[in-house]
Chain A
């Protein structure tokens, strides 16, 4: 029996791009997801809940909402979360989310995150790395030649679990990772990724707003960052600083 429930408020998702803003390193994906949702005034289309999640409800305008939801505008759906995915259920969540994406016939997945870099304070424009299972799908939408392929690395945490499931299911998937702070919300890294995605029509937003409101974002996402740090430690995030031993 499935552990996660998807309450759909809006019509079919067939042919839609799925953008993942699961909290992770520097909250890079989360901040990018919030910025696009707010810029495009996207509407909540799917509410996600599970008995495995902590009992949290978000109060907004006299309404009670689950902390995880999917926002929709045209051919774009964005997953946002007000809580980090608990490490113990990260794989289960990834498995059921991807099964739902496949069942609903989403066109492709763009998953956004950060790679921690101790040199980040000195970097003005964070570099963006990518990993994909379908260069053919994404090279016509994103200028992959300007980005650096992620050739050999460990990815750890709920985003890693999600990407692994996407690849396993054969969903066309693009993972984008910007150089970022590990433990500080990093709107600059989110801006770098959104700039790299500006050629994807439905993801085109004014990034200068994000840069201008960067200080406010760093304060606004401070509490979520603290909680995400705990989950990242439990998921053995430090492995991302190690190199895989497999050479073939």
Chain B
């Protein structure tokens, strides 16, 4: 009896893709359920490493910088801001504010955190805590 390995491989691959899609769907569903239950919108965000730390950007269309509440909690940051009427009209439901709690990588130097806002995009720069020791290369 011979086994067609290409068929078996294709079948496994299809199942892996299907499982990855199910996981993604569960995450998106949890996010929408959270938004509907809490009456908020979870904004899109990005966290990128830099040479000496990280930069987080959060998309907050329609928000002015003085309206943002930004809280550093050690291992996370929490951002809340009111939604503008134009933003509320664009989505279903009664979302009244943006809300996101974002888990941070370990070892952020608290005093280094700086935030700025441009065209509805919040940018948070943070540095990794200094540490370690130099190793001499022989």
Which A residues contact B (CB, under 8 angstroms)?
A: 88, 118, 121, 182-184, 213-220, 222-223, 225-227, 230, 234
Min Cβ gap A231→B in Å is 10
**Which among A88, A121, A225, A230 is the interface contact of B57 at CB below 8 angstroms?**
A121
Q: What B residues does A182 contact at CB under 8 A?
A: 46
Considering only CB atoms, which chain B residue lies closest to A220 in the complex? B90
Contact A216 B118 (CB under 8 A): no
Contact B61 A215 (CB under 8 A): yes
Looking at chain B, what size class is its interface with the partner chain? 20 to 34
Contact A226 B91 (CB under 8 A): no
A222 to B35, CA, bound (A): 13
Contact A225 B44 (CB under 8 A): yes
Q: What A residues does B86 contact at CB under 8 A?
A: 213, 215-216, 219
Q: Is there a chain A Cβ closer than 8 Å to B124's Cβ?
A: no
Contact A218 B61 (CB under 8 A): yes
- Sample of 19 A–B contacts (CB below 8 Å): A121-B118, A121-B121, A121-B123, A183-B46, A184-B59, A184-B121, A215-B84, A215-B120, A216-B62, A216-B86, A218-B61, A219-B41, A219-B83, A219-B87, A222-B43, A222-B44, A226-B31, A226-B44, A234-B20
Interface string of B21-61 (1 = CB under 8 A from A): 00010001001100000000101101010000000010101
Q: What A residues does B62 contact at CB under 8 A?
A: 215-216, 219
Contact A219 B119 (CB under 8 A): no
Considering only CB atoms, which chain A residue lies closest to B92 in the complex? A223
**Which among A184, A213, A214, A216 is the interface contact of B44 at CB below 8 angstroms?**
A184
